[in-house]
């Protein structure tokens, strides 16, 4: 029997009021007068009327809601109904909960054929047209994953109206379990077509990109001809996953020009090796690059881990799903580190097109396949991280937003997680893990559907009309939370498994093949993998990226205990095969071998290729500087700009205090300014703190990617040290997001960036412990007029830092504290306005961003940072703010309204070579920090700073006047409140 239960609020529903306002903001000009939300639960189960009624009672809180069965609540006064439900096969998290509640209440489990489907029903009142309703419906759903239904209420019968009882089941056509791909007979063109568009199905359609180029396809062809057979589809798909750019990072691994060992080994791992060697006994790294995250020493007992991921392509198509999958995915990297670390902090980073940009982009020439707008992407991504982080009980500590026109084709979504794990568990080092031959291959967590098929290969290509819809997944943080708690808080310490890893890109095809390296082989019975719905082909099951799954190797004699524990925690656990030492990765379907692949070819068969670079230099115009002497207006405009303005509305909707470890929070001071570094205390009984920071300067890439990278490292290190980090125990992570990565100029830029990564990290002694690249952030499509458009992101390197400080109470916040304190600038200010936020603002016409991009002098800066560290340790600094985007004036302004105190300073004689007032105020020269010092500490402070370029520029004032002078002339003269208002305007506008 199929029934619908409708649940609606009795009293005022705040969500409906807020929604009505947002619909009117779609250009409906107040036509919507009222809205009502109804939750619909479609129940397809063999239940009696009494059982349905009992079920309905589980779904309401009688003080807040009432229900009706197969009968919509009173529709009078409403003109339209919009129903939004999931498309068939899309994860419906709420439905899972409802099924569990009903099964509990009726003491009767759901059968395989029975299910619940949820949808949201919106009643809309007002004199609106069909066109208006369409607009509303479009704002409410993403057609890629959701379906909508619009009904005019006048068309429904009076009284007893019910919505359709359509069951959105997935019904897959019957097809052969697997096919053989006749590679041996194919021409180069046909091979290329398979590589680009996928294997040809018997029905004439292609299965989606394998992202294998001709060279790779020919190597595969040759390999199978040596075996005297053709590959099966699952073998080919498996190779495509394992060899994908996403998994093998070929651009970083291959020889490039005369750099034989490739960029990663030479510059990233190379830097880490050099630094660790130099540190000798003081090396604080424990596990670098070999696991799902990097791990450093926290104290004698614990290690902290860090990992930052990107989830760009999925977020472009489904921002909410992409972002939530990004954050819960990187949480799994933490749970999958060593024997399993506990996530203790989440981080986010967003690069978007400007939210006010309404120019449409289309994936196809017929203009049917519209890309989501930057605003829509921003809102969805923010919500996705909200749901993922908040629901998981992991504090979202740090984050940033950057805007550039060139992110409108493809946004960048970074998600990071810090973990905590004892260094030894049951007497064994926790980061050592090894699957043993004979162990069961156990998959825990969610079931498998078509979601995320070809995710790994998709993220390795340009976003265009061939991008598969199934590449999108929706995360379920609660399924994962149950899994995480059961593993990290219980099974791990009971010693119930030998190894564990995350199922991310490539699904079990990658996780099983990776773990099989530890013992030498694996054999999988593919039919044992639990499915969301019947009809999936083995190759789909093998590579699906359905979420919330981890793979473990469980010794046979521990299996019963492990399984029992998982059952009790409501976590699905299934043994799908065995690890072996056969040197082969074998997949069977009901006993028949359908994949039989030597481990050696699977992992090392990918042909190397040589990459070459060719740099094309570009010069930019210098902008016209303002004529008047005042820069007050310019400062106010900068503070209100997207890249400098407050992200308060984001920080406030992310729980940053759960786990009770927060010390230096995302917002600080009376003025709630965003902090550049944050401090947590992951072990409540320890005085040690963990400092986190991140930095990026994508705009600098136009001028120099070397300086872009060096500045990102310098700023991440500087912000951390300003908050109290110990430089000698600071590690960094690189996230390289590039574009058109086979283009020789882009590769030249990449080499420059990596050289800077090596030089700067080695100079500061800050090892890389983990990293991630995403090399094809390009969009190819059409504008509103059907003209073809290609948009590539500016080459972007995100540097994240993690460090341990001895006493978290010594942390320093950025805002001014006490009137009368002396204000100092540490470090020199130079004519380095190239691609600064200031030049981008005043040189907007004609892209006049200048050419003098900031250079990093690591030797000078190192001395500054060490002196600052020592001053913070002595407790003689009242506030410290790192000078970053927007320059000195911006840093002074933030520190000032952060503490709601004024200032009076003179920048005439500041250290450095800054020839005009624009440079003094807005240059983004690196290595600078603004600090305030109590008068009683000045002597001690200046002594510590004796080898630092130090400028004492003025005082914090009690009144709320903000005055910057250049000699006698006031160049900025305004009020603290005015600046605060400008700073907060971006947040207020986008709330």
Partner 1 sequence: MKNNKVKVIIMSGYGLNCEEETKFAFESAGGKADIVHINDLIENPKILEAYNILAFPGGFSFGDDTGSGKAFANKFKNYLQMELDSFISRDTLTIGICNGFQIITNLGLVPGALAHNASAMYIDRWVDMEVVGSSPWLKGIKKISLPIAHGEGRYIIDEKEYKKMMKNKQIAFKYTKGEMCEFQNLKANPNGAMHDVAGVLSESGKVLGMMPHPERAMFFHHRPDFQLKKEIAKRKKQKLGDEGIGMLLFKNAINYFKK
The two counts, helices (H) then strands (E), for the chain are 30, 39
Q: Which stretch binds partner 1 (CB under 8 A): 133-141, 247-255, 257-265, 812-820?
A: 812-820
**Cα 397 to Cα 667: distance, rounded to the nearest angstrom:** 10
Nearest approach, Cβ of residue 421 and partner 1 (Å): 15
Q: Return the residue matching tokens 């082969």.
A: 584
Nearest approach, Cβ of residue 383 and partner 1 (Å): 10
Is the Cβ–Cβ distance between 254 and 262 less than 8 Å? yes
Q: Which stretch binds partner 1 (CB under 8 A): 137-145, 478-486, 620-628, 757-765?
A: 478-486
In the region spanning residues 659 to 678, those forming contacts with partner 1, defined by CB under 8 A, are 659-660, 662-665, 667-670, 672
**Cα 606 to Cα 257: distance, rounded to the nearest angstrom:** 20
In the region spanning residues 559 to 578, those forming contacts with partner 1, defined by CB under 8 A, are 568-570
Contact call for residue 934 and partner 1 (CB under 8 A):
yes
Q: Which stretch binds partner 1 (CB under 8 A): 82-90, 405-413, 471-479, 726-734?
A: 471-479
CB neighbour list of residue 657: distance below 8 Å, 6 or more residues apart = 395, 665
Contact call for residue 818 and partner 1 (CB under 8 A):
yes
Binding-residue pattern over the window 523 to 562 for partner 1, x denoting contact by CB under 8 A:
----------------------------------------
Judged by CB under 8 A, the residue of 259, 469, 478, 572 near partner 1 is 478
**Cα 978 to Cα 961: distance, rounded to the nearest angstrom:** 10
Binding-residue pattern over the window 745 to 764 for partner 1, x denoting contact by CB under 8 A:
--------------------
- Here the tokens at position 412 are 């960048």
- Here the tokens at position 8 are 């609606």
**Cα 614 to Cα 746: distance, rounded to the nearest angstrom:** 8
Nearest approach, Cβ of residue 961 and partner 1 (Å): 19
Contact call for residue 476 and partner 1 (CB under 8 A):
yes
Q: Which stretch binds partner 1 (CB under 8 A): 13-21, 305-313, 709-717, 733-741?
A: 13-21
Positive or negative: CA dihedral 818, 822, 828, 833? positive
- Here the tokens at position 371 are 């890309």
Phi and psi at residue 206, to the nearest 5°: -100, 150
Is the Cβ–Cβ distance between 726 and 762 less than 8 Å? no
How many residues make contact with partner 1 (CB under 8 A)? 73
Contact call for residue 58 and partner 1 (CB under 8 A):
yes
Q: Which stretch binds partner 1 (CB under 8 A): 154-162, 402-410, 465-473, 657-665?
A: 657-665
User: In this complex, which beta carbon is closest to partner 1, that of residue 267 or of residue 986?
Assistant: 986
Closest CA to 927 of 759, 760, 711, 691: 711
Judged by CB under 8 A, the residue of 20, 35, 59, 316 near partner 1 is 59
Q: Which stretch binds partner 1 (CB under 8 A): 66-74, 90-98, 826-834, 841-849?
A: 90-98
Q: Which stretch binds partner 1 (CB under 8 A): 14-22, 158-166, 511-519, 775-783?
A: 14-22
In the region spanning residues 376 to 405, those forming contacts with partner 1, defined by CB under 8 A, are 386, 390-393
Nearest approach, Cβ of residue 353 and partner 1 (Å): 23
Is the Cβ–Cβ distance between 227 and 239 less than 8 Å? no
**Cα 446 to Cα 331: distance, rounded to the nearest angstrom:** 15
User: In this complex, which beta carbon is closest to partner 1, that of residue 404 or of residue 815?
Assistant: 815
Q: Which stretch binds partner 1 (CB under 8 A): 349-357, 575-583, 607-615, 650-658?
A: 650-658
DSSP, collapsed to helix, strand or coil, labels residue 803 as strand
CB neighbour list of residue 412: distance below 8 Å, 6 or more residues apart = 310, 312, 349, 350, 351, 737, 774, 777, 793, 796
Q: Which stretch binds partner 1 (CB under 8 A): 63-71, 330-338, 695-703, 955-963?
A: 63-71
In the region spanning residues 681 to 720, those forming contacts with partner 1, defined by CB under 8 A, are 684
Is the Cβ–Cβ distance between 553 and 436 less than 8 Å? yes
Binding-residue pattern over the window 427 to 456 for partner 1, x denoting contact by CB under 8 A:
------------------------------
Strands 396-403 and 342-352: parallel
Contact call for residue 15 and partner 1 (CB under 8 A):
yes
Nearest approach, Cβ of residue 273 and partner 1 (Å): 37
Nearest approach, Cβ of residue 30 and partner 1 (Å): 19
Is the Cβ–Cβ distance between 241 and 587 less than 8 Å? no
Judged by CB under 8 A, the residue of 64, 165, 593, 913 near partner 1 is 64
Closest CA to 191 of 229, 222, 228, 234: 222
User: In this complex, which beta carbon is closest to partner 1, that of residue 298 or of residue 782?
Assistant: 298
Nearest approach, Cβ of residue 812 and partner 1 (Å): 7
Nearest approach, Cβ of residue 481 and partner 1 (Å): 5
Is the Cβ–Cβ distance between 205 and 178 less than 8 Å? no
Contact call for residue 482 and partner 1 (CB under 8 A):
yes
Contact call for residue 283 and partner 1 (CB under 8 A):
no
Judged by CB under 8 A, the residue of 454, 718, 755, 817 near partner 1 is 817
Binding-residue pattern over the window 877 to 916 for partner 1, x denoting contact by CB under 8 A:
-x--------------------x-----------------
User: In this complex, which beta carbon is closest to partner 1, that of residue 404 or of residue 476?
Assistant: 476
CB neighbour list of residue 928: distance below 8 Å, 6 or more residues apart = 718, 825, 826, 827, 828, 829, 882, 883, 888, 891
Helix segments in 361-499, DSSP class H: 374-392, 455-458, 477-486
Q: Please give the helix or strand (H or E) that residue 275 lies within, else none.
A: helix 269-279
Burial class for 940, CB neighbours closer than 10 Å (0-12, 13-18, 19+): middle
Nearest approach, Cβ of residue 489 and partner 1 (Å): 9
Strands 584-589 and 592-598: antiparallel
Contact call for residue 655 and partner 1 (CB under 8 A):
yes
Judged by CB under 8 A, the residue of 111, 154, 787, 936 near partner 1 is 936
Instruction: Please report the DSSP string for 454-477 in residue order.
Output: THHHHTTS-BSTT--GGG-----H
Judged by CB under 8 A, the residue of 207, 481, 830, 928 near partner 1 is 481
CB neighbour list of residue 754: distance below 8 Å, 6 or more residues apart = 263, 266, 267, 268, 709
């Amino acid at each position: 029997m199929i029934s619908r239960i409708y649940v609606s609020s009795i009293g005022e529903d705040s969500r409906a009021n807020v929604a009505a306002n947002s619909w009117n903001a779609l250009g409906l000009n107040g036509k919507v007068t009222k809205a009502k939300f109804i939750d619909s639960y479609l129940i397809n189960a063999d239940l009696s009327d009494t059982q349905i009624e009992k079920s309905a009672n589980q779904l309401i809180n009688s003080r807040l809601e009432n229900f009706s069965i197969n009968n919509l609540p009173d529709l009078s006064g409403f003109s339209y109904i919009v129903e939004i439900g999931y498309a068939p096969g899309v994860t419906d998290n709420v439905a899972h909960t409802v099924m569990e509640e009903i099964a509990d209440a009726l003491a009767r489990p759901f059968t395989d054929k029975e299910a619940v489907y949820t949808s949201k029903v919106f009643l809309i009142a007002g004199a609106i047209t069909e066109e208006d309703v369409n607009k509303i419906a479009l704002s409410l759903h993403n057609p890629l994953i959701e379906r909508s239904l619009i009904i005019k209420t006048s068309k429904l019968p009076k009284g007893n109206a019910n919505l359709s009882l359509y069951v959105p089941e997935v019904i897959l056509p019957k097809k052969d379990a697997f096919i053989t791909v006749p590679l041996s007979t194919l021409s180069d063109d046909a091979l290329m077509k398979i590589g680009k568009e996928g294997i040809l199905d018997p029905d004439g359609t292609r299965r989606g990109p394998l992202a294998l180029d001709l060279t790779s396809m020919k190597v595969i062809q040759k390999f199978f001809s040596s075996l005297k057979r053709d590959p099966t589809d699952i073998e080919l798909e498996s190779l495509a996953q394992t060899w994908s750019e996403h998994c093998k990072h070929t651009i970083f691994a291959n020889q490039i020009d005369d750099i034989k060992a490739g960029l990663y080994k030479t510059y990233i791992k190379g830097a880490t090796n050099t630094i660790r060697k130099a540190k000798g006994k003081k090396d604080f790294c424990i596990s670098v690059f070999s696991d799902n995250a990097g791990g450093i020493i926290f104290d004698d007992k614990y290690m902290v881990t860090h990992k930052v991921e990107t989830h760009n392509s999925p977020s472009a198509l489904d921002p909410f799903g992409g972002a939530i999958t990004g954050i819960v995915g990187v949480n799994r990297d933490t749970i999958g580190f060593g024997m399993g670390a506990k996530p203790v902090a989440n981080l986010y980073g967003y690069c978007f097109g400007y939210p006010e940009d309404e120019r449409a982009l289309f994936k196809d020439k017929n203009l049917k396949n519209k890309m989501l707008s930057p605003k829509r992407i921003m809102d969805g991504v923010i919500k996705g991280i909200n749901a993922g982080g908040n629901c998981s009980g992991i504090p979202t500590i740090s984050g940033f937003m950057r805007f550039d026109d060139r992110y409108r084709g493809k946004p960048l979504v970074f998600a990071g997680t810090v973990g905590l794990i004892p260094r030894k568990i049951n007497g064994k080092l926790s980061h050592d893990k090894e699957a043993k031959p004979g162990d069961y291959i156990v998959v825990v967590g969610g079931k498998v559907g078509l979601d995320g098929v070809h995710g790994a290969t998709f993220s390795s290509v340009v976003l265009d009309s061939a991008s598969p819809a199934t590449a999108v997944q929706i995360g379920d943080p609660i399924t994962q939370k149950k899994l995480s708690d059961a593993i990290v808080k219980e099974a791990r310490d009971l010693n119930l498994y030998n190894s564990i890893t995350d199922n991310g890109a490539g699904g079990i095809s990658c996780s099983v093949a990776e773990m099989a390296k530890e013992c030498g082989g694996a054999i999988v019975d593919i039919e044992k993998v639990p499915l969301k719905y019947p009809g999936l082909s083995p190759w789909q099951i093998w590579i699906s990226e359905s979420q919330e799954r981890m793979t473990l190797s469980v010794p046979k004699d521990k299996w019963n205990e492990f399984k029992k524990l998982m059952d009790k925690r409501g976590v699905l656990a299934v043994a799908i095969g065995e690890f072996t030492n056969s040197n082969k990765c074998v997949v069977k379907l009901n006993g028949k071998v359908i994949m039989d692949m030597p481990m050696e070819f699977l992992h090392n068969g990918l042909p190397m290729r040589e990459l070459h670079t060719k740099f094309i230099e570009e010069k930019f115009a210098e902008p016209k500087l303002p004529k008047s002497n005042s820069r007050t207006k310019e400062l106010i405009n900068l503070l209100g700009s997207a890249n400098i303005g407050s992200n308060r509305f984001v920080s406030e909707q992310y729980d940053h205090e759960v786990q009770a470890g927060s010390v230096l929070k995302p917002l600080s001071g009376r003025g709630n300014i965003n902090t550049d570094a944050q401090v947590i205390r992951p072990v409540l009984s320890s005085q040690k703190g963990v400092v986190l920071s991140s930095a990026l300067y994508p705009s600098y890439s136009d001028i120099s990617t070397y300086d872009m990278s060096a500045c990102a490292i310098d700023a991440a290190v500087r912000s951390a040290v300003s908050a109290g980090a110990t430089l000698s125990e600071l590690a960094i992570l690189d996230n390289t997001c590039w574009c058109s990565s086979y283009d020789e100029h882009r590769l030249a830029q990449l080499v420059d960036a990596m050289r800077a990564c090596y030089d700067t990290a080695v100079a500061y002694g800050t090892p890389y412990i983990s990293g991630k690249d995403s090399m094809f952030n390009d969009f190819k499509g059409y504008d509103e007029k059907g003209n073809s458009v290609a948009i590539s992101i500016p080459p972007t390197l995100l540097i994240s830092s993690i460090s341990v400080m001895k006493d978290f109470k010594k942390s320093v916040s950025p805002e001014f504290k006490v009137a009368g304190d002396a204000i100092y600038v540490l470090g020199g200010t130079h004519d380095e306005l190239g691609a600064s936020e200031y030049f981008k603002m005043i040189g907007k016409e004609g892209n006049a961003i200048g050419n003098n991009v900031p250079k990093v002098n690591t030797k000078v800066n190192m001395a500054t940072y060490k002196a600052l560290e020592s001053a913070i340790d002595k407790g003689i600094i009242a506030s410290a703010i790192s000078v970053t985007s927007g320059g000195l004036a911006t840093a002074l302004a933030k520190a000032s309204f952060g503490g709601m105190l004024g200032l009076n300073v003179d920048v005439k004689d500041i250290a450095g070579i800054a020839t005009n007032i624009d440079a003094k105020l807005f240059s983004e020269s690196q290595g600078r920090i603004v600090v305030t010092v109590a008068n009683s500490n000045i002597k001690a402070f200046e002594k510590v700073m004796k080898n630092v370029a130090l400028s004492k520029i003025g005082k914090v004032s009690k009144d709320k006047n903000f005055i910057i002078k250049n000699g006698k002339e006031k160049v900025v003269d305004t009020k603290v409140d005015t600046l605060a208002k400008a700073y907060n305007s971006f947040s207020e506008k986008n709330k």
